[in-house]
Structure 1
Amino acid sequence: METSTSQISRRTVVKGAAWSVPVIAAAVAAPMAVASGDGNTVTNSDANYYWASESQSTWSSLDPAQGNLEVRYSTRIAFKQEPWTSGPPVGGVLQVTVVFSQDVTLKAPIGQNWVQSSPAGLGPARTFVFQLSPSGFGGDISINLNGTTPGAITASSTMSLINGGTTTWASESSDATAVLVS
């Protein structure tokens, strides 16, 4: 008598079912979590903002001019849309803090939907804080500055989300370096 090896045992079926239960539970839980509330908001703790690469594959950049101690600072922040989210957090405010290694002066107000919250005026200062409200899908910051002394200058940038919980990028920073020419 010949036995068939193509039959599926009861044990195999039970094992397969055990593996599928957590997968189905996770798939059902994600949409239900978003559906609670008005269905159009994402809690700030679910937000996923990140530094988006510039053309030089860096998160932020300092591009010096050929003279007059001029330099251009730029960075880009984006929001990663996930299938279980319906968009950026409502009421969130993105904040970018840039600390320079020497005093700099803005050549013009920021613009581009970002607001300079500190210092008052164009400087000179080492620390500048810019905010975007509402945070939306993020955006670009690009500003022209004048340094105070020729030589190396560094910009250390951090971002945060005001009106929210923890985020996946909260500890990330971005540094850029250039050499100012007089």
Structure 2
Amino acid sequence: MEGAGKRILVGVTGGIAAYKVPGVIRRLREAGFEVEVVATPGALRFVPEETLAVAAGRRIHTEESWWEATGGIEHVRLARWADLVLVVPATADAIARAAIGLGDDLLSAIILAGAQKVLWAPAMNPEMWKSPATRRNVATLAGWGHSFVGPEEGRMASEEEEPGVGRLSGEQEIVAAVKAALSGAPDTGRAPG
């Protein structure tokens, strides 16, 4: 299997597309990757912790588990453990937090603690994606060597919105981007452009 021996830390953020993440996790596991999951409090508003745990086949990491008295430094351990951190869906907020170096939640702290590779799968309202602030933050992360997959053009969750660029990439595209990022292949994602 292509993913054998590779460790992926899936960081789930609080966007409506979080409900699609269990499918991404299953596809990663089917490809042979070892998967751990970190969910932000916002993510758990859209997808239950138990659903993510079933997809991952193990307990997930949350803000509550970050502060458990284990004698370890969880964010540093996870940053060192992961061959790649996949942030999916990557909200404008998560991208901004990383770009300015915040580390006051578990996922941001993992990225700040020296994660080897980071792949962002953005999903947000098209106007948010086009925002100069988001474009600046994406460019900052790309400049640090982070990779991106998507977003795609299509209909958004809200029926009131016109189709535009902001839709989460499909499961197959995300898994292919994970494989490419780990192989050192050039980034073909939409984000920096």
Length-normalised TM-score, structure 2: 0.25
Structure with greater contact order relative to length (CA < 8 Å, sep ≥ 6) = 1
More strand by share: 1
Larger radius of gyration: 1
Length-normalised TM-score, structure 1: 0.26
More helix by share: 2
